[in-house]
Amino acid sequence: MHALFGLSQTFTTTEPISDFLDSFEMEWERLYQLTGSSSSNSCRWTLRQFLDHDEAKRDFLLASLIKHYPNPVHNLTTKENLTYVELKSRLFTLST
């Protein structure tokens, strides 16, 4: 969790956002895999259920980028039913 949440601290807007997105997805997947072999009454299993939600991934990504791109992130949070994939696509336009 620390690696995922710490990504925002090491990111700078001089780096391509695609690098940040790759790192975010890698750390998200690592955390997801760590919760995979848990029993259904454990905290890890509960976390796994949370990580299964597209909205959770989307919102964590937005939270990671608010410090670096406040206006675009604010605009994206107003879009109803925005999926993680759609968000990612829109974020790629920030680096072009």
Question: Tens digits of per-residue pLDDT, 49-81?
Answer: 999 999 999 999 999 999 999 999 999 999 889
Question: Tens digits of per-residue pLDDT, 8-37?
Answer: 998 888 889 999 999 999 999 999 998 887
pLDDT reading at 93 higher than 90:
no
Terminal alpha carbon distance of the chain: 30
Tell me what percent of the residues of the chain surpass a pLDDT of 90.
59
Identity at 22, one-letter amino acid code: D
CB 58, CB 77: distance < 8 Å: no
Query: What is the predicted pLDDT for the residue at 61?
Result: 95
Question: What is d(CA 45, CA 12) in angstroms, rounded to the nearest whole number?
Answer: 33
Q: What is the DSSP letter of 82?
A: -
Contacts of 36 (CB under 8 A, 6+ apart): 48
Give the number of other Cβ atoms within 10 Å of residue 62's Cβ.
19
